[in-house]
Structure 1
Amino acid sequence: MTIAVEKVLYTARATAQGGRDGHTASDDGKLDVTVAPPKEMGGNGEGTNPEQLFAAGFASCFHSALKLVARKAKQNSDDSTVTAAVGIGPINGGAGYGLEVELVVALPNVERAVAEQLIEKAHHVCPYSNATRGNIKVALTVA
């Protein structure tokens, strides 16, 4: 199923030079990073990598969605955190690569059963969750 945006509110633009071993910058200059493959993938590890950038974006976006649904449910999301672990590895017998994500959510001021419900609701609100649903494995874990 393709998700259609009804109205674009913001568009982020970034340009990469050199792919996984180069430089990436946003058009407004707020993001300007050296990109390098991690040592685990044969690189020098002296820059960030697309998986770290994706993890940062997914964690931030999911946390905002979580805080929204917690507020609507009148639950305390103070001191909450979301950690995204993005894994990359071969698929289709090595014909390409794929991603998987684990989102580890800490909601220290909410009962576990309620936290699980909030996390599931956030998973349906978060744009990253909506973009990845049905495409890659996304595991939701309560810390």
Structure 2
Amino acid sequence: MLYTGKTHTTGGRDGASRSSDGRLDIKPSSPGAPGNGTNPEQMFAAGWSACFMGAMGVAAARMKTSLHADASSAAEVDLCSAGGEYFLKVRQPPRAGVQL
């Protein structure tokens, strides 16, 4: 194991979330709700795409190349419901650049 991120949330989307090291301290919101705050699906998408870019950087380094300075990654996370159960769907539109 390389790293474990730890958070604690109280009150769900109407509460607060904080990381064990205190670097993250937010009040989540519901998707489409008015007001400030981000929702868990946005945070999941940001983490997913950031992790993917990190993996692409490692892969590029192993290939003795590097990612282009403006390389980016996008992720879309859907909150879904079917049959009384909730689940997430993630899409990652492909886009990357490498310098050869």
Please give the TM-score of this superposition, normalised by the length of structure 1. 0.61
Aligned twin of 1:104:
93
SS in 2 for 1:35: coil
Q: Which amino acid aligns with 1:69?
A: A
Q: Is 1:57–2:47 an aligned residue pair? A: yes
Contact 1:77 1:110 in 2 (8 A): yes
Deviations 1:114-140 (A, max 9, x none): xxxxxxxxxxxxxxxxxxxxxxxxxxx
Q: Within 5 Å, which residues of 2 pair with 1:64-143?
A: 64-78=54-68, 79-92=70-83, 95-109=84-98
Question: What is the aligned length?
Answer: 99
SS in 2 for 1:106: coil
In 1, Cα distance between equivalents of 2:87 and 2:8? 22
Contact 1:76 1:110 in 2 (8 A): yes
Aligned twin of 1:141:
none
In 2, Cα distance between equivalents of 1:64 and 1:110? 16
Contact 1:60 1:82 in 2 (8 A): yes
- Structure richer in helix, relative to its length: 1
Q: Tell me, which stretches of 5 or more residues in structure 2 are unaligned? A: none
Contact 1:37 1:45 in 2 (8 A): no
Q: Is 1:15–2:5 an aligned residue pair? A: no
Contact 1:88 1:99 in 2 (8 A): yes
Please give the TM-score of this superposition, normalised by the length of structure 2. 0.83
Deviations 1:45-73 (A, max 9, x none): 53111111111111111111011112222
Q: Percent identity?
A: 36
In 2, Cα distance between equivalents of 1:75 and 1:101? 28
Contact 1:80 1:105 in 2 (8 A): no
Aligned twin of 1:46:
36
Q: Tell me, which stretches of 5 or more residues in structure 1 are unaligned? A: 1-7, 112-143
Structure 1 vs Structure 2 CA RMSD: 2.0
